[in-house]
Amino acid sequence: MNYGIFRSNPIMTLNDLAQIGSHNKREKKAYKSNPDIKLELTKNNIELVPLTEKYVKGFKNLTKEYEKEHNERMKTEREDRKKTYSQMLNKSRSVVADELMFTATHKFFDNMSKEEILEWANTCMVFVYNDLGYTKEQVLHATLHLDEKTPHIHCVVVPLVKKLDKRTNTERYTISKKQYIRDNIHLSELQDVYNVRLREKGYELERGIKGSNAKHQKVREFKKTTRYYENKVDTINKNLDTAMNNFEEKMKTTKNVPFDKKHVLVEKETFDSMNKVIKETKQAIEFQPKIQELFNEVDTFTKSHQTLEKENQNMKKEIKALTTRNQNLTKENNNLKSYLKAILKAIKHFFRELLQIGNDKTKEATTSEIKFHFDNKDFDSNDVYDISKGTTKEDELFDYAGVPSYYRASKHSEKDDYEISL
């Protein structure tokens, strides 16, 4: 029995895109990490959608209108919030591109000529256009690799779309994979459709096993991924420590500014340092699901290879080491979560203190900052409720964040649970 396989792998940064491009276009002189690649056979690979440029340059050309729109928007942005196009893409929660991979179990390709394999590849590309809904202009590059054990397709697409921005009521460019593959459930449905399309063309292929993607990643690839996440967590911790230390120093300066029981002045540098903490905290929070996903994949991988562990001592040692490193990473991740909770609590307390005892100018600046972080999804409506309840800015911020009316406090009849004494 042969299986048809279709997978989707998000590409999160331009650097990742460059690395994938180098692999797909066979730009390296050697591939020690993948001995299955036979460079002497690379001449047999087929460009389904050619790209003569480097991946990043091709991406920039494909998204030049998006870049132009971003640069225009940055002209009116506050200096401390300006980002280059590349910075915006790399720090976005969205992908910069998506890599679609098509293949089948090895025996399916036995006795097939190059022309017959190309016919199968063209069927896959029709699926990309007709069923996934990508246009040819959105395909950055697609190549059929015939220099490895099993033929397969790498199709890199850029889900660039125009969407209505509700804040400005205008259409803006964005890159959104969810416009084409909403989630894992939708992906599974599309894999069903892919199998139907293959069988309609006469290919005797069964649908790939559902939820089996993790089994395709080899031990050395897991080790490389785990090392990346370990380094990333270490960097996040260092950046948070630096931001928090700077924020604490600025807070000391703020405390020395003259104030009375009704008014307090806050220096701009204190706001800036606090925003840096929020920025680093947000990046850490965004990274949490990726660490958890890695943990789940490693856990699934090790459980599914128990028989292999008994038969292969070298593999057993590698899996044991990988499991230990994954446990350590999980422990660090849990510590990081606790740290983040404490930081966010301190930030909310700081904002609330300013709304309670700041002068009018300070309160206006603080309200503006709270709205900015709510728009930026750093705060949700519950956070806004905790920060502004019982203050003079309660109504304004409740309305802005959509806090239900029945949560509004009676400022004169209730004692504020969050009252701060000087």
What confidence score (pLDDT) does residue 85 get?
93
What confidence score (pLDDT) does residue 417 get?
43
Highest mean pLDDT: which range of 99-103, 184-188, 209-213, 219-223: 99-103
Q: What percentage of residues in the chain have a pLDDT greater than 90?
A: 34
Average pLDDT over residues 55-62: 96
Lowest mean pLDDT among 9-18, 81-90, 158-167, 252-261: 252-261
Average pLDDT over residues 342-369: 87
pLDDT digits (tens, 9 = 90+) for 94-124: 899 999 999 998 889 998 999 999 999 999 9
Decide if pLDDT at 298 tops 80: no
Decide if pLDDT at 389 tops 70: yes
DSSP string covering 159-212: -EEEEEETTTTEEEEEE-GGGT--SHHHHHHHHHHHHHHHHHTT---EEPPTT-
Q: How far apart are CA 234 and CA 226, in angstroms?
A: 12
Lowest mean pLDDT among 270-284, 303-317, 364-378: 303-317
What confidence score (pLDDT) does residue 145 get?
94
Decide if pLDDT at 421 tops 50: no
What confidence score (pLDDT) does residue 27 get?
84
What is the DSSP-derived secondary structure letter of residue 129?
A: I
Average pLDDT over residues 160-182: 88
8 A C-beta contact, residue 300 and residue 211: no
Amino acid 230 reads E
Q: How far apart are CA 55 and CA 72, in angstroms?
A: 25
Decide if pLDDT at 7 tops 80: yes
Residue 10 binned pLDDT confidence (cut-offs 50, 70, 90): very high
**Is the C-alpha dihedral spanning 353, 357, 358, 364 positive or negative?**
positive
Nearest to 158 by CA among 69, 56, 282: 56
The H or E element that residue 413 is part of is none
Report the length, in residues, of the chain. Answer: 422
Decide if pLDDT at 78 tops 50: yes
Residue 343 binned pLDDT confidence (cut-offs 50, 70, 90): confident
Decide if pLDDT at 277 tops 70: yes
Residue 420 binned pLDDT confidence (cut-offs 50, 70, 90): very low
Decide if pLDDT at 222 tops 80: no
What confidence score (pLDDT) does residue 217 get?
44
Residue 58 binned pLDDT confidence (cut-offs 50, 70, 90): very high
The class (CATH top level) of 3-211 is alpha beta
What confidence score (pLDDT) does residue 413 get?
40
Q: How far apart are CA 50 and CA 125, in angstroms?
A: 13
Lowest mean pLDDT among 32-46, 176-190, 292-306: 292-306
Lowest mean pLDDT among 4-8, 180-184, 342-346: 342-346
What confidence score (pLDDT) does residue 308 get?
45
Report field, pTM of the whole predicted structure over 0.85: no
User: In this predicted model, which residue has the larger pLDDT, 115 or 236?
Assistant: 115
Q: How far apart are CA 129 and CA 139, in angstroms?
A: 9
Amino acid 263 reads H
Residue recorded with tokens 């019982």: 390
pLDDT digits (tens, 9 = 90+) for 128-158: 999 999 999 999 999 999 988 899 999 999 9
Decide if pLDDT at 412 tops 70: no
Beta bridge partners of 284: none
Decide if pLDDT at 388 tops 80: yes
Q: What angle do CA 36, 39, 40 make, to 5 degrees?
A: 120
Domain spans of the chain?
A: 3-211, 220-407
